[in-house]
Amino acid sequence: MDQAELNTEQVLKRDIPWETYMTTKLISGTSLQLLRRYDNRPESYRAQLLDDDGPAYVRVFVSILRDIYKEETVEYVLALVDEMLTANPKRARFFHDKLLWKGNWFIQEKSCKIVALIVSSRPKIQDGIIANGEASNSKKKSTSIDDVLQGLVEWLCEQLKKPSHPSRGVPTAISCLAMLLKEPMVRSSFVQADGVKLLIPLISPASTQQSIQLLYETCLCVWLLSYYEPAVEYLATSRALPRLIDVVKSSTKEKVVRVVVLTLRNLLSKAAFGAQMIDHGLPQIVQSLKAQAWSDEDLLEALNQLEEGLKDKIKKLSSFDKYKQEVLLGQLDWSPMHKDNLFWRDNIKNFEENDFQILRVLITILDTSNDPRTLAVACYDLSQFIQHHPAGRIIVTDLKAKERVMKLMNHENPEVTKNALLCIQRLFLGAKYASFLQV
């Protein structure tokens, strides 16, 4: 069988010649006794053995991985360790040494997962004191762990660039990163290895169960990185934000929506993310998400916090920034700035940004909106642009706005009709004459 297609169940059915290994002194008599008690036993029986004598079994497993190089045996022991840690990740505390990955894909995959579980479950050290109160003065141990993590991060990045296995390489790497990026040292190494950019293409709406899990763990990685400033600096210059917004807008999986909302909440106050979120219509998306029936209280709280943060960000934006948000959201109202000649005089040059982007969106609203108030304000704003920009009539004509406005002159809503007529008058007759007719 292709080694890359092995699964744990198949590997655990093997009969390993432990007696031969004892005869050749690759394992001790005590190790043989422990293995005979553990081998080919039901999971519940193995669980009891681990509860009674877990560290002893871990020492046996690690010594086999260190001293025996036969692939079938290494695969078998890695499958045993994977099984015991998957059943109860807290058993990772039994490990006090490092595991190294070597050999075929099955061995690499299991070793990678085991190291990630061990590291993510190890006691956290603060000021030389382990979380359970024990003193830690072993620099050598810390250094060896850092060396393992450095090598592991490099291997994970390589899997994201050029997977060793076509279907399992990337999911394995992302799953391990989702556990490991809680570690400050891993975050630093991952950013230094230019790993952040490797996550961005994986942030994409998903439909199958497998792709949803990959998306969730990828977004979990981005959430963990949102606490690390150098990673945030890279995310700010990438396509991460629009991709995250696309995912949260289209996903129905609660855990995916939750982790993306938590990430957006973290990023809101950093770099230029706040203004970009508003540009991408996130306030409206958050309102839509809040109207859905979510069961997760953390998600509901995060949505409320994100909504309040966006409102606060909008308040702090300049008057033209506020105007841009209205236009980009496609929801216009008679806020004071629309009829404020000072606003138009001071900001008319800002409409030239990005090849008249805001003006183009304003004209598009005439075709796409069904809201009479929005249509009326859009017509009025076009008339204001014509009045205040030196080349306003020429620019609006070149952008094919005349035909769209003329259609609205027959609109059933009198407010729309009135402002469409004003716009056409200014377009054809000039600002002064149109104002005279309006009076």
Q: What is the 3-state secondary structure (H, E, C) of 59-119?
A: HHHHHHHHHCCCHHHHHHHHHHHHHHHHHCHHHHHHCCCCCCCCCCHHHHHHHHHHHHHHH
End-to-end Cα distance, the chain: 88
167 φ/ψ angles, rounded to the nearest 5 degrees: -110, -20
Residue type, 293: A
Q: Any residues with CB less than 8 A from the CB of 177 and at least 6 apart, and which?
A: 156, 186, 190, 195, 217, 221
CA 299, CA 222: separation in Å to the nearest integer?
17
CA 35, CA 148: separation in Å to the nearest integer?
27
Is the Cα torsion angle 389, 393, 398, 400 positive or negative in sign? positive
Binning the chain into helix, strand and coil, the percentages to the nearest 5 are 75, 0, 25
- Provide the pLDDT for residue 325: 79
- Residue in the structure block whose two tokens are 């000072």: 342
CA neighbours within 13 Å on the CB side: how many for 309? 21
CA 254, CA 225: separation in Å to the nearest integer?
21
Look at residues 243, 321, 241 and name the one whose alpha carbon lies nearest to residue 273: 241
Residue type, 23: T
Report residue 294 CA to chain centroid gap: 20
CA 393, CA 431: separation in Å to the nearest integer?
10
Q: Is the distance from CB of 160 to CB of 201 less than 8 angstroms?
A: no
- Provide the pLDDT for residue 355: 93
CA 266, CA 273: separation in Å to the nearest integer?
10
CATH classification code of 157-316? 1.25.10.10
Look at residues 215, 196, 217 and name the one whose alpha carbon lies nearest to residue 204: 215
Query: Which residue(s) pair with 221 in the sheet?
Result: none
Q: Is the distance from CB of 389 to CB of 350 less than 8 angstroms?
A: no
CA 143, CA 325: separation in Å to the nearest integer?
51
228 φ/ψ angles, rounded to the nearest 5 degrees: -120, 115
What residue ranges do the domains of the chain occupy?
Answer: 1-120, 157-316, 322-438
Look at residues 259, 242, 152 and name the one whose alpha carbon lies nearest to residue 195: 152
Q: Any residues with CB less than 8 A from the CB of 211 and at least 6 apart, and which?
A: none
Helix 431-438 to helix 414-429 angle (10° resolution) is: 140
Residue type, 413: N
Q: What is the mean pLDDT of each run of 10 residues along the chain (439 residues)?
A: 64 90 92 91 90 86 82 87 82 56 65 70 44 40 59 89 89 92 92 96 92 96 96 93 96 95 95 84 92 92 94 79 85 86 91 94 94 96 95 93 93 96 87 44
Look at residues 109, 118, 107, 108 and name the one whose alpha carbon lies nearest to residue 84: 118
- The CA-based angle 99-100-103, given to 5 degrees, is 135
User: How long a stretch of residues is the chain?
Assistant: 439
Q: Is the distance from CB of 426 to CB of 386 less than 8 angstroms?
A: yes
Token pair of 61 as six digits:
């497993």
Q: Where are the alpha helices (DSSP H) in 134-253?
A: 139-161, 169-180, 184-192, 196-199, 209-225, 229-236, 240-250
CATH of 322-438, one of 1.25.40.150, 3.30.420.480, 3.40.50.720, 3.20.20.70: 1.25.40.150
